[in-house]
Amino acid sequence: MIKSLEEGRKEDGNRSIADKIIKRLHDLDKTVEYNQGRWAWELLQNAKDSTAKDEDHKISVQIILDENQVEFKHNGIHFTEHDIRGLINQISSKEAEEGEQTRKTGRFGTGFLTTHLLSRTVQIKGILEAESGQFYNFQFTLDREGEKIKDLSPKIEMAWNGFQESVTEIEDFSLYNKNDFNTSFVYSLKNEEQKQIAQIGINEFVKLLPYVLAFIPKIECVRIIDNREITEVIFQNSTSKIDDFITPITRKEDGTESIIHILEYSGERTSIACQVEKEEDIYSFTSVETLPKLFCDFPLIGTENFNFPIVVNSFDFNPLTERNGIWLKKENDDEVAENQNLLLEAYQLYKDLMEKLSESTYSQFYNVIETKIPNVDYLNKEWFQKEIQTPMREFLMDLSIVELENDNKKAIKDIWFPLKEYSKDVKRKLWKYNYDLFPECVPKEKHLIGWSNKSWSNWKSLSYEELAKDLQRQKNIDELKTSLEEDERKTFEWLNEVREFLLQEESNKLLFDKYAITPSRNGEFKTTSELFIDKIKDKELIKILRLLGEDWNDILINKSIANGRYHIKEKKDIASQITLKVNNPSRKDENYNKAIILLSEWFENNNPDEIKHLFSDLYRKKAELFMNTILDKESLYRIMKSDTDLSKVAKAIDDNPHLLDNIESSEQLKSLLTEYDLKDISELRNIIEASNNRVFIQKSELTQEDLAGLGITSLEDLEEALKDKDLSSMFHESNNNVNAFLYAEKLISRAKQRIIEHLETLDEYDCSEIDTDISKTSIGGIKKNGQEIFIVTRPSDNNFIIVYYGSEKDILDYENAELWVDNGIDTPKRITLGRVLKNTGINKIPV
């Protein structure tokens, strides 16, 4: 052997090893934030791999944290020569044993270099079994300091020398106990960054260790001792299962013991798992969202964003080089195909497990239904969508896994969920209002956020608009009361709360225009444009219009509604509508008459100025309107012409509305006779039927002078007038031609003109602002002694006049109104009350 050549070969080998180590550590330093938790898993993996050829050997591990160092030790099987070469020369045991069947995950390969993020220097202690079968103790330092090959290459040789120098033979093999903690790795922590990496690794280790223990039963116990905080945590594995699925992991922390339940379901080459929490007899799934979803016995750190509903483990996964995923993208690749098949097996396990557990006392299934396509660059997304996502979603939609408030379960397809983009507060309120209406259609309240956050597009979505639609379907307050099973007060309180909730979002105002969700006075739901705020403030006018056939309680917003903006209805609006309905009635029935009577009473009880402003037309003909409501005018006239004081009769009837119905009752009759000083009922009957001043008018032919006396100038006016029973009882309807009406109009115009000319001659009358357009028989704008008056005119050629028009009666009802007549010959005359009394013989006038 040429010594110099051998030394050169050895140096080349060391330089090659140094180059690989430097490059790997350089990459790790750049990605330290993604790898700083991996060191503990790499060491635990090496401990597990040490027992690959001894399936019965149980592993125990201790991690001891001191202020300036971390020690990891275990009771795994001793080192082999392959292991030592792998440690120093950085060769994985899988590489060293290439071609051999092995259960090693990969020992002392590039993954082991991640432990150097803790420290570039590590003290290694252990027992070696040489190929000769002899056992040795060893302890040496592995130093990876150096950024250049020339710096690191010599340290590789130094490691070999240190190892060789430390080796001591175990002469008494009985002193070797393979269950002792014979293997130890001690990392020096020289700065705060290394101490932080140590703490992050421990935190992650504690969180995920229960899963690893469930996947690897041969890891029996892990003890973590923190001498800085004086704490100790122990994880104890179990070989028994609860209900065939659950591995109980015992955790003891500073003397306090708890059980961590890992649900694990295994197939031929894969297993799936999720932590569950037990409360009485119910197991609830916990979230796996922040956990790595893929394990190759140990977590593949970085697969936290690999969306899958549950953790998947397979020793046979082919991981990426960085062990932060698995190959799932390249076509016609054996490793990719194997990984895809393993995921499909995991999906089938998931379906089987979910079907079994949906029928049992498991809860919070929303934690294990994540089905989004993973956003990772090592995945064929089309394959994932077709083979896993789509069939998984179809399967889940029909599975009864959504718990209701009554603890029953329903399928996702039958339940409504708030849109995931809403805030938690909005989601909870949407849930509440929908639960109030449809308790069987929403999930359990405490599960609401979990379900909503996992929803996908074809779920039934609760939204602001959907809530508005649900309200509209109620149609009215009565149906809403029935749905809520509440009284009216609480129903309105509920509705106002919902409306206030909707109005908190500015854009929701459109919903009130689009959907009928606001109740009217009658309780029917209407849109905003259909409703008005009541500025009328008068129940009587609303009642009058309702009797006329138009109920404004259908368009006035309900008084119990406390929010929203609406147009208004004022008193002038309802006055215009009442006027229209009175002047153009669809039919004159009992309700019409009642409306006129109520309107007449309203005229009597309200401010005259306001009445004239609101009802100028109706007020002028109020007497005519009222009289037209009386069907039996003849009897009324007879009573009015009697000596009976009608005001007292009216008061008696007002005091006792049933008086007339019971008039035959002796006690009431006796009281009435006594009150009006009457001897018997016949005397009362005579008073009512007889009149001291009865005027009988012989029915005669209607002449053109009569037309003038009536103020009628057209056939239409005549036909309308003869509808009145009293006028039709006085005149026969004759065949008056156009000339008769023209003659009557001529007399009316002559009388009006002569009366004006006469008034202009009288000092007390000022006709400078006269208004002759009020009507054909009325004059306005005249002042008498400085006060404005109204005048009704009539021709009196036939020695009588009849005041028939309601507008004339309204004018004459004013204090400052006068009636003048003219016969074309004599000076026009003013008809005074005294003249009327003298000429007619009337001596009793109802007041």
In angstroms, the CA 742 to CA 477 distance is 62
Q: Which two tokens stand for residue 577?
A: 């509508």
- Integer Cα distance of 144 and 18 in angstroms: 9
DSSP letter for 115, please. G
Please state the φ and ψ torsions of residue 101, each to the nearest 5 degrees: -70, 125
- CA atoms lying within 13 Å on the CB side of residue 442: 27
Predicted local distance difference test score (pLDDT) of residue 690: 45
> What does the DSSP 8-state code read for residue 554?
G
* Residue 785, CA distances (Å) to 458, 763, 789 in order: 87, 9, 10
Span 366-385, average pLDDT: 95
Residues linked to residue 780 through DSSP beta bridges, in sequence order: 771
Model confidence at 693: pLDDT above 50:
no
Work out the pLDDT band at 709, boundaries 50, 70, 90. low
Those residues whose C-beta lies under 8 Å from the C-beta of residue 780, and which sit 6 or more positions away, are 770, 771, 774, 788, 790, 791
**Residues linked to residue 259 through DSSP beta bridges, in sequence order:** 250
CA distances from 153 to 89, 90, 834 (A): 11, 13, 143
Helix (H, G, I), strand (E, B) or coil at 72: strand
Nearest by Cα to 550 from 579, 581, 521: 581
Predicted structure pTM score:
0.68
Least confident piece of the model among 247-251, 495-499, 635-639: 635-639
pLDDT tier at 847, thresholds 50, 70, 90: low
Tokens 């229960």 label which residue? 210
Highest mean pLDDT among 35-44, 418-427, 709-718, 763-772: 418-427
Contact 282, 243 (CB under 8 A): no
Which are the contacts of 570, defined by CB distance < 8 A and separation ≥ 6? 535, 536
Task: Using alpha carbons only, give the angle 310, 311, 315 rounded to the nearest 5 degrees.
Answer: 145
Q: What are the distances in angstroms from CA 283 to CA 245, 274, 286, 360, 362?
A: 11, 11, 10, 9, 5
Residue with more model confidence, 97 or 84: 84
Q: How far apart are CA 92 and CA 824, in angstroms?
A: 139
Residue 467, token pair as written in the block: 């809530």
Task: Tell me which long-range contacts 154-157 makes (C-beta under 8 A, separation of at least 24).
Answer: 154/14, 155/18, 156/14, 156/17, 156/18, 156/88, 156/89, 157/10, 157/14
Q: Which pLDDT belongs to residue 665?
A: 56
List, for residues 187-198, the tens digit of each pLDDT value. Answer: 999 999 999 999
d(Cα 124, Cα 138) in Å, to the nearest integer? 8
For 391, the token pair is: 């069939």
| Among the listed residues 671, 696, 691, 695, the one whose alpha carbon sits nearest the alpha carbon of residue 681 | 671
The three state secondary structure string of 34-63 is HHCCCHHHHHHHHHHHCCCCCCCCCEEEEE
The tokens for 379 are 């995945």
Reported as a pLDDT band with limits 50, 70 and 90, residue 21 is confident
Tell me how far apart the alpha carbons of residues 831 and 817 are, in angstroms, rounded to a whole number.
11
Selected residue with higher pLDDT from 367 and 621: 367
CB 452 within 8 A of CB 424: no
Confidence check: pLDDT of 102 > 90: no
Crossing angle between the packed helical segments 646-655 and 666-675, to the nearest 10 degrees: 140
Cα–Cα distance, 655 to 649 (Å, whole number): 10
Q: What average pLDDT score do residues 64-83 get?
A: 93
Q: What is the pLDDT of residue 696?
A: 41
Q: What is the pLDDT of residue 695?
A: 40
Compute CA 42 distance to the chain's CA centroid, rounded to the nearest angstrom. 50
Q: Are 273 and 294 a contacting pair, CB within 8 Å?
A: no
443 near 404, Cβ under 8 Å?
Answer: yes
Average pLDDT for 20-49: 85
pLDDT tens digits for 662-682? 544 555 566 666 766 666 666
Residue 389 has pLDDT above 80, yes or no: yes
pLDDT tens per residue, range 203-255: 999 999 999 999 999 999 999 999 988 899 999 999 899 988 999 999 999 88
Domain with CATH 3.30.565 in the chain: 3-228
| pLDDT for position 447 | 96
- Judged on CB neighbours under 10 Å (0-12, 13-18, 19+), 402 is buried
Q: Are 387 and 319 in contact (CB under 8 A)?
A: no
Mean pLDDT of 49-61: 90
794-803 pLDDT per residue, tens: 888 877 787 7
* CATH architecture, domain 3-228: 2-Layer Sandwich (3.30)
Residue type for 600, please? S
Query: Counting every residue, how long is the chain?
Result: 847
Kind plus residue range of the DSSP H or E element containing 510: helix 509-514
Residue with tokens 């000339």: 739
Angstrom distance (rounded) from CA 786 to CA 783 = 5
**pLDDT value at position 12?**
78
Name the token pair of 132: 């000769």
Residue-averaged pLDDT of the chain: 86
Q: Are 314 and 274 in contact (CB under 8 A)?
A: no
The whole-number average pLDDT for the span 635-653 is 56
Q: What average pLDDT does range 259-284 have in this prediction? A: 95
CB atoms within 10 A of CB 20: 15
Q: Which residue has the higher pLDDT, 99 or 590?
A: 590
CA pair distance 179, 174, nearest whole angstrom: 13
Q: Which amino acid, 53?
A: K
Please identify which residue in the block is written with the tokens 């046979």: 316
Predicted confidence (pLDDT) per residue in 114-171, tens digit: 888 889 999 999 999 999 889 999 999 999 988 898 888 899 999 999 999 999 998 8
Q: How far is CA 792 from CA 157, 239, 795, 828, in A?
A: 136, 117, 11, 12
pLDDT of residue 701: 66
Q: Cα separation of 87 and 123, whole Å?
A: 12
d(CA 96, CA 347): 34
Rounded Cα–Cα distance for residues 48 and 42 (Å): 10
Rounded to 10 degrees, what is the CA torsion of 17, 20, 25, 28?
Answer: -150
